[in-house]
Amino acid sequence: MSRPATTGTTPVAELLFGEADATPISTDEATIKPWDEARACLESAQKAWISTVWPDGRAHAMPVMPVWARDAPWIATRPGSRKARNLAGNPSCVITVAGETLDLVVEGRATRGRDEDDLRRVAAAFGEKYGWEFAVRDGSVYEDSLPGSPEYGFYQVTPTRAFGYGTDGRTATRWWFG
C-alpha cells in the first residue's frame, strides 16, 4: 500500500485493510477514525507501554505514564534506565495504549527535551495529570521529593505513523504523519 501525502501537522487517515485483504475488518471508509479520537485516547491514558530497541536489536517494553504537551506525547524516565539508554542509541520507539473505544499503536522517534521552556511545560503537564512534581534547573529535570533529587529525562515522541483498532474488533485506521 503506498503512503498518502500529508499536510501540515495533521496526519492523513486511511483504512488499514482493503477489499483484497480478505479480513473481517471493515473496509467501509466511513469507519475511519479521526486523529482527534486517537489523540484523546493517548492524552487521557493513565498508563501506556513504550517499546524501544536494545543495542543488539532485541525489543524492550515497559509501562510509562504519558502526557500530551507541545502537540506530542511525552514520557519521563531516568537517564540511566534501559529505555533511556536504548533511546540514546536508537530513537525509534512504539507507544501502545488500550483505550475505552480505541486501541492505539504509535510509531515514532523519541527525542530528549532540553529546552527549559519545553521542560517546564512538560513538568506542568505531569503535575496536572498525575500530581507528579518535577523541578527544572539548568536544563535538567529533578524529582526533589525523593532522596537525592534524582534526575529525569523528558522524551518527546514524534509520531511517524499510528494504527487505531476499534474495541469492536471490526474497525482499523492507519495515520501517516509528514
What does the pLDDT look like over 26-45, one tens digit per residue?
777 788 899 999 999 999 99
Residue 4 has pLDDT above 80, yes or no: no
Cα separation, 48 vs 162, in Å, equals 14
pTM of the predicted protein model: 0.87
Confidence of residue 85 (pLDDT cuts 50, 70, 90): very high
Q: Residue 169: left (phi > 0), alpha (psi -120 to 50), or beta?
A: left
Q: Mean pLDDT across the stretch 76-103?
A: 96
Compare 2 and 20 and report the one with higher pLDDT. Answer: 20
What pLDDT is stored for residue 113 in this prediction? Answer: 96
Average pLDDT, the chain: 91
Beta bridge partners of 142: 135, 151
Beta strands in the chain (DSSP E): 12-15, 48-53, 59-64, 67-69, 72-77, 92-98, 102-112, 135-137, 140-142, 151-166, 172-176
Q: Mean pLDDT across the stretch 9-34?
A: 76
Q: For residues 65 and 130, is the Cβ–Cβ distance under 8 A? A: yes
Residue 133 has pLDDT above 90, yes or no: yes
Residue 25 has pLDDT above 80, yes or no: no
